[in-house]
Structure 1
């Protein structure tokens, strides 16, 4: 890994949290420090230095990055999550605690529901610092755990390396295939040795999917058409507990589940629906007022920075750290119930 030695110059229009909190004093304090896996400050800030339009601009290379470079990570985590150094994260993956009867049984508004979590394996560095040998070890552990799943989670693992065009085409059709990461992930070192050590698992019913060695070592996804949010969450939590019987995940009491991007810390959970609200879309202020009330994010149909099509939006929880998984999904559910109610009122007018 590279050693940091020169304070970076950020352009005057740079608004990243890295440029805000990497003062010259912080830089001098951290520039010669290295984690046990050989990860340096220079490695942590590489993506934000190369991409001045980053929102955050830092990635952790291992769990130790968060303590060794804490004078940079702590203020970023505090601003993004509103989470202090003294706070402890509490996890709750008990689906029975979620109060979420289907808000749209006729499937008039909610097209689909998707809940995912990021997970990384304990005692192995994260994607930006992982070696090829370690990445292969992650793939080996993950594919063994996944192919041992039974009943409705039973399925098949597809390695990306050496994948046939026929299989790739099928996975693209199902929107399951992931590509090498964007320029932000590229600069963070997350695309190294692509596509070696990466793969995709999905169950036979195509309602459960795991990406291996994408941005996080495991991205575990539960999804289905329609608005039965509780069913999607139950499938996810049941799968997580089964995988955890075979794999220990990286976790600590302060930051919860450890991820390379600090925005995903805590629950590492994103619960989302594709929802059709054409009338609300015409009153964006009212739309935003509801989503802000429930700590939700509005995105276009193809995720971040994309546009809406036909009044369909991707609505997901914003909070991840300092709230439980159940609270994240409950936020999303309660917000969606209100969005549907307001959309119905607007239809009658």
Structure 2
């Protein structure tokens, strides 16, 4: 056993248990060997393939977390879906510790140089008054949304959750949500009891998540569906909480138009109220812990649906602005979807290594610049 592996067999500050010990089943070892060969022979370059070299593979393939998660649980989705951009998930919080030599390299690559020696700043929501309405005349921004993800302490993530875990998490979360005050007050709708008509309407209105994502399916994140899943909605449909979708909790604030300060302040108030009632998994180094490593740190995703009919014709210019302000640009149907009618989903890409306010401010500044370029592009091309 190498010194690096020995280093894994120590008390983990995420769970206060010994990580790395355990016997990986022989059939899983075979799955891993086959998976590595599959990745090696694939022409597609995900972050998983880029960073899972033979040395790293040999170092990690015999390790296991206290919840029984192996390297196969982490990389399965990226092997089944070779078109993945990232290709790795954490089946439980301790996986970030046990398989850190792989996760750390992927995190550094995706999150613009967040190194294994770096630490996530303490939560800081900043001053809402320093943000502005992105589009007060309503010409460009169709809607604004800010969300964050949370995982409850004491439970694994989706791939390792039992049916009882889903039920227990749902009960704890919904009990907390019933205590929300003001315009956050609402009703919880369990997915298991939802009529097909209501489910279709909520999905069409971009309020409700749905089963069927092939990346989550391959990561074993859809067990016992729809047990323990549901949506909490306030009366105005401007605030909602997803329960046991990708993460245990997704807290979401939204509005039509570009009034970012209003949307952001609602989210901040919701998080503060919920955190008084629930304990969430957080690492000193990685911040709030989530199923997907792209969401670590603040877990903040601040986004707009924005009309860019002129700038959208110049993808190079659009990409330049996106790179400058660390923006992610994709279709309005979500990740891996096409752009329709010149409307883009634009969000902050960085979530770790900066504060909650700084993550939102990057989207704020980037969208203002996109609107400026859209206006200039239209004038020049006339």
Normalising by structure 2, we get a TM-score of 0.87
Choose 95-104 or 201-210, whichever is displaced more: 95-104
Structure-2 separation of matches of 1:230 and 1:166:
34
Written as runs of structure 1 = structure 2, the 5 A alignment for 1:67-82 is 67-81=97-111, 82=113
Among 235, 238, 259, the residue aligned to 1:204: 235
Among 68, 93, 116, the residue aligned to 1:38: 68
SS at match of 1:25: helix
Tell me if 1:284 matches 2:319: no
Among 172, 185, 190, the residue aligned to 1:159: 190
Shift of 1:339: 1.6
Shift of 1:93: 4.0
Q: Cα deviation per residue 1:324-343 (whole Å; 9 max; x = unaligned)?
A: 11111101111111122222
Shift of 1:73: 1.2
Shift of 1:2: 6.9
SS at match of 1:278: coil
Choose 280-289 or 317-326, whichever is displaced more: 280-289
* Corresponding position of 2:213: 182
SS at match of 1:161: helix
Shift of 1:210: 0.9
SS at match of 2:105: helix
SS at match of 2:74: helix
Written as runs of structure 1 = structure 2, the 5 A alignment for 1:164-243 is 164-243=195-274
SS at match of 2:210: coil
Q: Cα deviation per residue 1:289-316 (whole Å; 9 max; x = unaligned)?
A: 2221111111122222323233221111
Tell me if 1:83 matches 2:107: no
Structure-1 separation of matches of 2:136 and 2:208:
30
CA RMSD across the alignment: 1.7
Shift of 1:122: 1.1
* Corresponding position of 1:250: 281
Written as runs of structure 1 = structure 2, the 5 A alignment for 1:1-349 is 3=25, 4-6=28-30, 7=33, 8=35, 9=37, 10=39, 11-81=41-111, 82-96=113-127, 99-349=130-380
Q: Is the 8 A contact 2:47 2:106 kept in 1?
A: yes
Structure-2 separation of matches of 1:200 and 1:100:
29
Q: Is the 8 A contact 2:142 2:258 kept in 1?
A: yes
Q: Cα deviation per residue 1:205-231 (whole Å; 9 max; x = unaligned)?
A: 100011100011111111000111111
Shift of 1:18: 1.8
Structure-1 separation of matches of 2:147 and 2:59:
37
Structure-2 separation of matches of 1:310 and 1:124:
42
Shift of 1:181: 4.1
Q: Cα deviation per residue 1:58-83 (whole Å; 9 max; x = unaligned)?
A: 11111110111112211111111121
Structure-1 separation of matches of 2:54 and 2:139:
54
SS at match of 1:248: coil
Structure 2 vs 1, CA of residues 345 and 21 (structure 1 numbering), >3 Å: closer, same or farther? closer
Shift of 1:165: 2.9
Q: Is the 8 A contact 1:143 1:157 kept in 2?
A: yes
Structure-2 separation of matches of 1:281 and 1:307:
13
Q: Is the 8 A contact 1:91 1:267 kept in 2?
A: no
Normalising by structure 1, we get a TM-score of 0.95
Structure-2 separation of matches of 1:102 and 1:209:
21
Structure 2 vs 1, CA of residues 17 and 284 (structure 1 numbering), >3 Å: closer, same or farther? closer
Shift of 1:97: 5.4
* Count of matched residue positions in the alignment of Structure 1 and Structure 2: 349
Structure-2 separation of matches of 1:246 and 1:189:
29
